[in-house]
């Protein structure tokens, strides 16, 4: 089975010493395969996270990313996107509306379903608002938890509408942040944050891997 995992810098693995939450998930599957001497079933993971990506960026590259990697094996599409869509701007004309976000995300789901019924939607992590309102590296713009929650709720609603797996991250990561540092720059999880994301996502992907 092939796992196509789409996202932004968090999927790409920013600020994790071991390469990110997806590297951790992949390592788990590789260890399981090694215990079977790499006998079938063998699972391939493709990290298709690109720093700075929004739903619009992902729509532009989605089909090509899958087409060049596709074969006759069953596949899973994982969407972990939306944090950058939620950015607030001093110039409101630069903001993406919730309506447009929902439209973009719906199109992504429709594209994914052309290739597989196994589509997983990951919810959005929280931010440490005091550190990213405004964003130090993107003047005139901010991440806020209100906007992130609004966009996360759209993702959860679409998962329900399409009967897809949805992995809730916001509340669990926010609770964990109360006891230990997870977001040193305010938006990107550190090694501990990535480990927690992997822990939350892994059981869903393990279950899907049994369906091939």
Q: How far apart are CA 17 and CA 203, in angstroms?
A: 22
Domain with residue 134: its CATH number is 3.40.50.1110
Please, are residues 102 and 155 in contact by the beta-carbon 8 Å criterion? no
- Cα distances from 183 to residues 62, 110, 176, 177, in angstroms, run 28, 32, 11, 8
61: left (phi over 0), alpha (psi -120 to 50) or beta: alpha
pLDDT (0 to 100) of residue 212: 65
Domain limits for position 73: 2-209
Q: Tokens 């919810």: give the residue.
A: 123
How many structural domains is the chain composed of? Answer: 1
Bridge partners of 142, per DSSP, are: 88
Q: What is the pLDDT along the chain (212 residues), one digit of tens a residue?
A: 999 999 999 999 999 999 999 999 999 999 988 888 887 778 999 999 999 999 999 999 999 999 999 999 999 999 999 999 999 999 989 999 999 999 999 999 999 999 999 999 999 999 999 999 999 999 999 999 999 999 999 999 999 999 999 999 999 999 999 888 999 999 999 999 999 999 999 999 999 998 86
The helices-and-strands tally (H runs, E runs) of the chain is 8, 7
pTM: predicted TM-score of the whole model, two decimal places: 0.97
């Amino acid at each position: 089975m092939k796992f196509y995992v789409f996202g932004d810098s968090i999927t790409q693995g920013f600020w994790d010493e071991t390469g990110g939450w997806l590297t951790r998930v992949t390592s788990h599957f590789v260890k399981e395969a090694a215990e079977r001497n790499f006998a079938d079933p063998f699972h391939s993971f493709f990290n298709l996270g690109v720093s700075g990506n929004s739903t619009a960026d992902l729509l532009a590259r989605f089909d090509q990313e899958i087409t060049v990697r596709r074969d006759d094996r069953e596949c899973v599409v994982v969407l972990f996107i939306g944090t950058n869509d939620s950015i607030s701007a001093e110039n409101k004309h630069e903001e993406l509306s919730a309506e447009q976000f929902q439209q973009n995300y719906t199109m992504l789901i429709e594209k994914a379903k052309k290739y597989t019924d196994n589509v997983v939607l990951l919810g959005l992590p929280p931010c440490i608002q005091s550190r990213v309102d405004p964003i130090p590296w993107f003047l005139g713009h901010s991440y806020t938890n209100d906007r992130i929650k609004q966009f996360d709720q759209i993702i959860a609603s679409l998962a329900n509408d399409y009967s897809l797996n949805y992995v809730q991250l916001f509340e669990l990561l926010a609770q964990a942040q109360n006891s230990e540092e997870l977001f040193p720059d305010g938006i990107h999880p550190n090694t501990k944050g990535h480990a927690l994301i992997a822990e939350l996502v892994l059981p869903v992907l393990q279950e899907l891997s049994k369906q091939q």
